Every structure is written in C-alpha cells, then in structure tokens.
Amino acid sequence: MQDNKGEKMPLYVGKDGKLYFNFAQGLKVQMHGSDYDKSENYVYEIVGCHYIGTTEYYDVETDGIRLPQPNSANRVKYLVSRYGVKTLASGKRLELPLTVAEVKAYFAYIEHKREQAISEAGKLTEYVALKIAANQLVSQIGYAQAFGKTTEADALEEQRAELERRAAAELHAHGIDPDEIAEPKRCSKCAGRGFVYNHICACAVPLTQTIKDFNAKQRLHFANVLRG
C-alpha cells in the first residue's frame, strides 16, 4: 500500500487553537529518485493547498513541473518520509478554510445557549406575568383595529410596549440578554442550521471569523482541561 487512503490525516491544530493545513505552502524538499537509483534527485514543492469536502489536497511541482493530479496529505507524508533527503524551504502553513464541522458546532452552541436562556427566563415569575399580560393585549389591539377604534388601539399598543419594556428590564436584571431569547430570523435555505447537505450555507459565510474564533477557543479550552 503506497499511501494510507483509508485513514485521513487528522487536521493540524495550531498553538492558537485554529485549524491549519498539515503541510506548508512553499514546502520544498530535496528528494532522491527511487530506492534503486538514488542519483536521480529532484525537488518536490507544494505550490497550492486546497480543502475540498473534508479532504486536504496539495498542488505539487517536481523540478518546477506541475503534477497533473494533486496529492493528498497522506501522499505528501508518504513521499516525503520515504524519499525526502532534506528540506530546502519550509514555506508557510496556511489556515484551513471554514469547515462544516466548525459551522455545526457553532450553530449548535448558539441554539443551546438560547434554550438555556429561555429556560432561565421561564423561572422568573415577574417576567412570565409581564409577558402573559403583554400577549393578552395583542388580541385586544387586533379587535380595536378591526373596529376602527384607532385611538383605543394606540393606547393599548402603548400599554403593551410598556409591559414588554418592563419584561426586558426584568431579564436584564437577572443577567439575561432579551435578544438571546428572541426567536431568531432563521435562514430559509438551512432553517438556521448553517449548513445544507454537508455544505456550508451562504448565511454562515459572513460569520466565518466568529465561527473560527469560537472553535479555536473551544479547542484551546479542551486542551487545557486535558492538561489539568
């Protein structure tokens, strides 16, 4: 077996907790040609790094000529460990693009936080009473509007807004951000999950930095816990 296609190389986690390609862009290695003819030296260089699906791919040049097919991370590892003689240039390790796993972890965390906050808010009797009172006004406002009683409708609406303000203040007083428990605007393509069929949804893309930072922090935290 030339390279281990069955088992993917685990992704490289940097000291900052972020994910990186296993091999550096610009990595240049002096190689010996074969096990039989070691005089046939050549230079192996990584000129491009790609992450497609959940797999790392590397564009490679040998003696400046681009190979027609990219190499997998396992292939690079196999070739360099078997034929590498010395490193000519170490190149620069690039950060991995956002992964689906990172998106899933982030969205799941946000949803979990929301559920927790809702459960906490539900224990605040004053808050619950204010919300019930505010919701009861909604139908009264509807009737008033339906019968053209705009002055009454406006007055009721003002009452309702005041109850909502007090409810929000009650949450704040107990350390709950009202925005956190509000029903979020869910993306129609992914139903607010951030991915569709194992692809990152367009709605998650603007959050790339936030999602990466969240996951990096989680990895660092996990590593610290294990270290004890």
Residues that bind Zn ion (CB under 5 A): 187, 189-190, 201, 203
Query: Is 84 or 184 the residue whose CB approaches Zn ion more closely?
Result: 184
CB 11 to Zn ion: min, Å: 24
Considering the complex, state which of residue 139 and residue 188 has its C-beta at the smaller distance from Zn ion. Answer: 188
Query: Which residues, other chains included, contact 98 with Cβ-Cβ below 8 Å and sequence gap of 6+?
Result: 200, 204, 205, 208, 211, 212
Beta strand 55-62 with 84-89 is: unpaired
CB-CB contact of 85 with 31 (8 Å): yes
How far is residue 194's CA from residue 204's CA, in Å, rounded to a whole number? 5
- For residue 100 the two structure tokens come to 């689906």
Identity of the residue, 117 or 203, whose beta carbon is nearer to Zn ion in the bound complex: 203
Residue placing its CB nearer to Zn ion in the complex, 68 or 206: 206
CB 52 to Zn ion: min, Å: 21
Supply 171's token pair: 């949450």
CB of 199 to Zn ion, least distance (A): 10
The CB-of-135 to Zn ion minimum distance in angstroms stands at 29
CB of 109 to Zn ion, least distance (A): 16
Q: How far is the CB of 35 from Zn ion (least distance, A)?
A: 52
**CB 112, min distance to Zn ion, A:** 18
Choose between 113 and 199: whose C-beta lies nearer to Zn ion.
199
Nearer to Zn ion, 36 or 197 (CB): 197
Q: Are residues 4 and 63 in contact, defined by beta-carbon separation less than 8 angstroms?
A: no
Q: What distance in Å separates the CA atoms of residue 150 and residue 61, rounded to the nearest whole number?
A: 76
Which residue lies nearer to Zn ion by CB, 142 or 184?
184
Distance separating alpha carbons of residues 216 and 18, to the nearest angstrom: 5
Q: Which residues lie closer than 8 Å to 223 by C-beta, 6 or more apart?
A: 17
CA dihedral 190, 193, 196, 199 (to 10 degrees): 130
Residues 6 or more apart from 71 whose CB is under 8 A from it? 57, 58, 60, 79
